[in-house]
Amino acid sequence: MWRSLHKRRLTSSQIILFGFACVILVGALLLMLPVSSRDGTVTTPLDCLFTSTSAVCVTGLVVYDTATHWSAFGQAVILLLIQIGGMGVITVAVAITMASGKKISLMQRSTMQDAISAHQVGGIVRFTGFILRGIFLFELLGTLALMTVFLPEFGLRGIWLAVFHSVSAFCNAGFDLMGTESPFSSLTAYSEHPVVNITVMLLIVIGGIGFLTWQDIRHNGIHLGRYRMQSKVILTVSGILIVLPAAYFFFFEFGSLPFAQRFWGSLFQAVTPRTAGFNTLNLTSLSETGRMVTCLLMLTGGSPGSTAGGMKTTTLAVLVSCAAAIFRKRENGQFFGRRITDETVKNAVTVFLMYITLFLAGGMMISRAENLPLLTCLFESASAVGTVGLTLGITPGLGTVSRLVLICLMFFGRVGGLTLIFATLPANKNTLSKLPLEKITVG
């Protein structure tokens, strides 16, 4: 596969795009097999494509309840797709190449660098091994923690439930198998359970902060001053985007609930839009303000080089820093005594504009096609493009056009804004000549 793609002279961005598309199509074909459904019938191609896209893009939006519609084989296929999507198609391909003992070419290293947002090609193979060990370690620890809850309640089936939910949470997917108790119930039965809440939230956060941040934490421990600027920004923004929304939900959305349910529900609701898709409370009870806050969190998503989607915490941080620089009449935005390059600012603005455009266009198209309230449809489109999976319950009832819109949003949201742009637009050859400069007034 690598050689054939290399001969076609595809760019790294195009290889990433092509890889995700191929895995989605293969997953859809597997889910179409009669053995994949619980009743042994063939699931329609569009529904299989939707489910496969949602799994590979680690979103969690579903048209069928995962526990009641899909057989054990179908659930295993979905879990495998989630794992591949969370790790990244290129990471999986490199891991297979490493396991087979073959040499990793320079082209593969360069593609891997783009896939995980690494700063340099040097040491990328060793870093890939570190990523793989970290992924399986955290998923194993999550499985063991969840087994203490699910084994007493479900017997031996609790092992499968623990594995599935650990992988789904770490990969920020949001697929669940709790529908046997109540379809589409997610983790609402455990809204006050400390072990389930803490385990799932930690898996979501660890999976969403990015592999480069893992490396900083491993090498530097509690010495935050030695961290890369990017890691400092990620940890700071991630902390803010957990604490402030949690306080809002606690005081303004869930005030009528008992304290334990209110506390865990508020904290979980602040974490899960980053971009996991589980829920422990009924989201339809949120006010319009609460839904909009959740939309903004879903659009922001996780961090670069992580299992999460969205436009990324660093994009938001760069935009805020540039705005602060303008307010203070500084030439450049800055973090922790380091300035931001103009190229980074341009990339951030481009990614932000792309996600906002997809978010608004997708929501309006669904609202028009289904004749549903715009805010409800914007919630679904934010969930799709942010690869979150939270829903207000309208996804299973959507028509063909709306499902195709969500499929496109999930795909675009997972491969990443810049990857999509670089893969689809032709590269512009650098020239020494420049157009005449003229100022334009903004604001």
pLDDT tens digit sequence for 115-148: 666 666 667 778 788 888 899 999 999 999 999 9
Residue 106: per-residue pLDDT: 66
- Confidence at residue 427, expressed as pLDDT on a 0 to 100 scale: 59
Mean pLDDT in residue range 177-187 = 87
Say which residue, 439 or 98, is predicted with more confidence. 439
How high is the pLDDT of residue 129?
Answer: 82
User: 339 forms bridges with which residues in the sheet?
Assistant: 334
Residues contacting 216, CB < 8 A, separation 6+: 226, 227, 228, 231
- pLDDT tops 60 at residue 224: yes
Answer yes or no: is 443 within a domain: no
pLDDT of 179 above 50:
yes
* Mean pLDDT, rounded, of the chain: 88
Pick from 231, 240, 335, 340: nearest CA to 297: 240
- Which pair of tokens denotes residue 437? 């400069």
pLDDT band at 434 (very low <50, low <70, confident <90, very high): confident
Q: What is the distance between the terminal CA atoms of the chain, rounded to a whole angstrom?
A: 50
Inter-residue contact 206 to 276 (CB < 8 Å): no
Picking from 18, 86, 424, 52, the residue whose alpha carbon sits closest to that of residue 1 is: 18
Does residue 439 belong to any structural domain of this protein? no
Q: Is the pLDDT of residue 3 over 60?
A: no
pLDDT at 86: 85
335: which strand partners? 338
Give how many domains the chain has, as a whole number.
Answer: 1
Range of 326's domain? 2-422
The residue with tokens 């809440």 is 197
Mean pLDDT over 304-319 rounds to 87
In order of 103, 308, 312, the CA distances from 421 in angstroms are 30, 19, 16
pLDDT value of position 304: 84
Instruction: Output the pLDDT for position 121.
Output: 64
Question: What pLDDT was estimated at residue 425?
Answer: 63
* Structural contact between residues 295 and 372, judged by C-beta atoms closer than 8 angstroms: no
Q: Indicate whether 54 pLDDT > 90.
A: yes
Which comes out higher in pLDDT, residue 16 or 204?
Answer: 204
C-alpha–C-alpha distance, residues 335 and 324, integer Å: 11
Split at pLDDT 50, 70, 90, the class of 413 is: confident
Residue 310: band (very low, low, confident or very high) from pLDDT cuts 50, 70, 90: confident
pLDDT at 8: 55
* 117 touches 305 (CB < 8 A): yes
* Residue of higher predicted confidence among 87 and 253: 253
User: What tokens were used for 149?
Assistant: 């809850």
358 is a domain residue: yes
pLDDT of 275 over the 70 cut: yes
Quick check: bond before 275 cis, omega within 30? yes
* More confident: 409 or 122: 409
Average pLDDT over residues 73-80: 96
Mean pLDDT of 71-91: 90
User: Distance from CA of residue 244 to its chain's centroid?
Assistant: 21
Q: Is residue 441 part of a domain?
A: no
Tell how far CA 185 is from the center of its chain.
Answer: 21
Residue 98 has pLDDT above 80, yes or no: no
CB 112 within 8 A of CB 90: yes
Asked if pLDDT for residue 157 goes beyond 50, the answer is yes
Q: Is 43 exposed, middle or buried (0-12, 13-18, 19+ CB in 10 A)?
A: buried
Amino acid of residue 165: H
If residue 334 lies in a helix (H) or strand (E), which one and from where to where?
strand 334-335
Check: CB of residue 298 under 8 Å from CB of residue 279.
no
Tokens representing 145 are 């923690």
Q: For the whole prediction, is pTM greater than 0.85?
A: yes
Task: Please state which of the ranges 265-274, 301-310, 427-436 shows the lowest mean pLDDT.
Answer: 427-436
As a whole number of angstroms, the distance between CA 5 and CA 377 comes to 38
pLDDT at 421: 66
Q: What confidence category does residue 428 fall into, taking pLDDT thresholds of 50, 70 and 90?
A: low
C-alpha distances in Å from residue 62, one per residue of 162, 412, 433: 20, 17, 51
Residue 41 lies in a domain: yes
For residue 365, what pLDDT is reported? 97
3-class DSSP assignment, residue 122: coil
- What is the chain's percent helix, strand, coil content, to nearest 5? 65, 0, 30
- Say yes or no to pLDDT of 431 above 70: no
Rounded average pLDDT over 415-427: 65
Q: Is residue 2 pLDDT above 50, yes or no? A: no
